[in-house]
């Protein structure tokens, strides 16, 4: 399959740049979510944008409930993109689940990335009381989430968007996210959500061998601050950068601060 069609790939910025930035979007979004961040890097980097299969303008025919039952399918897709485009000197910037997809890709395909930047990412969303891990959700909360999605997906998108955006003074941001969610087929959204919220890759964190930046916000119900602290403590040599905004989408609510954090790390 043509990866350009499958993932709706766009290459912008400086075509002959020595280094490449790949931006990977989170659940319910597409590549346009980085539109306020990208201009700051266009003059110095080759920039690769893509949509995860099942969302955005990716090829819906490429979606398989079997391939994407776990995040492994997206790891393979990302490796396909890097190898297929013959990209070198790559820094991967992943929001939410795509941050973890980037981490997994860096381990399964050694040398594929030079650096990794994770924005609001988590290795496990469910609490693990036995081991003292706080992920932000207990089993009941996740069961209720799946039930709400399956019962009335379009009603669920409205409440979920407001909660995770957490920008009460800017309701338009939550409305935009709700519209983005509603463009995804409900059965696909439920399946992908389950693969994300049931993920547990904590064991992989100590294995990371490339420089990692962890971008953290305040009052993110999807990724509490303790999760970012946990990652910093468990990823060797990683750095944590606090973005002065609330909610799960700092690249949307505070793009200037995200740009500053990325530039400092690069």
| Tens digits of residue pLDDT in 133-153 | 999 999 999 999 999 999 999
Give domain status of residue 191, yes or no. Answer: no
Give domain status of residue 32, yes or no. Answer: yes
Q: What is the pTM of this model?
A: 0.97
- What's the pLDDT score for residue 18? 95
Give domain status of residue 8, yes or no. Answer: yes
Give domain status of residue 174, yes or no. Answer: no
**Mean of all residue pLDDT scores within the chain:** 97
| Tens digits of residue pLDDT in 36-82 | 999 999 999 999 999 999 999 999 999 999 999 999 999 999 999 99
Instruction: Specify the CATH number for the domain of residue 98.
Output: 3.40.50.1820
168 has a pLDDT exceeding 80: yes
Give domain status of residue 28, yes or no. Answer: yes
Give domain status of residue 205, yes or no. Answer: yes
Give domain status of residue 163, yes or no. Answer: no
Question: What residues make up the domain containing 41?
Answer: 3-124+201-265
DSSP codes joined into one string, 169-237: T-HHHHHHHHHHHHTS-HHHHHHHHHHHHT-B-GGGGGG--S-EEEEEEES-SSS-HHHHHHHHHHSTT
| Tens digits of residue pLDDT in 8-18 | 999 999 999 99
Band of residue 257 on the pLDDT scale cut at 50, 70, 90: very high
Number of domains in the chain: 1
> What residues are labeled active site?
96, 220, 248
Give domain status of residue 137, yes or no. Answer: no
Band of residue 1 on the pLDDT scale cut at 50, 70, 90: confident
């Amino acid at each position: 399959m043509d990866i350009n069609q499958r993932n709706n790939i766009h290459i912008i910025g400086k075509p002959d740049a020595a280094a490449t930035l790949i931006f990977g979007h989170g659940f319910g979004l597409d590549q346009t979510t980085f539109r306020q961040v990208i201009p700051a890097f266009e003059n110095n980097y080759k920039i690769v944008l893509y949509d995860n299969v099942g969302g955005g303008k990716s090829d819906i025919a490429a979606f398989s409930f079997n391939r994407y039952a776990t995040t492994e399918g997206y790891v393979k897709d990302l490796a396909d993109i890097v190898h297929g485009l013959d990209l070198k000197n790559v820094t991967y910037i992943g929001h939410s689940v795509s941050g973890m997809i980037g981490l997994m890709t860096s381990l399964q395909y050694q040398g594929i990335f030079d650096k990794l930047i994770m924005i609001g990412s988590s290795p496990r969303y469910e609490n693990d009381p036995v081991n003292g891990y706080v992920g932000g959700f207990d089993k009941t909360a996740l069961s209720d989430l799946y039930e709400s999605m399956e019962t009335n997906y379009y009603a669920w998108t409205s409440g979920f968007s407001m909660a995770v955006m957490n920008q009460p003074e800017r309701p338009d941001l939550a409305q935009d996210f709700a519209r983005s969610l509603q463009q995804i087929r409900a059965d696909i959204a439920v399946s992908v959500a389950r693969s994300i919220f049931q993920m547990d890759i904590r064991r992989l964190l100590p294995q990371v061998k490339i420089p990692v930046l962890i971008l953290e916000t305040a009052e993110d119900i999807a990724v509490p601050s303790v999760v970012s602290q946990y990652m910093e403590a468990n990823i060797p040599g990683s750095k944590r950068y606090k973005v002065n905004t609330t909610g799960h989408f700092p690249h949307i609510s505070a793009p200037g601060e995200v740009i500053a954090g990325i530039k400092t790390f690069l």
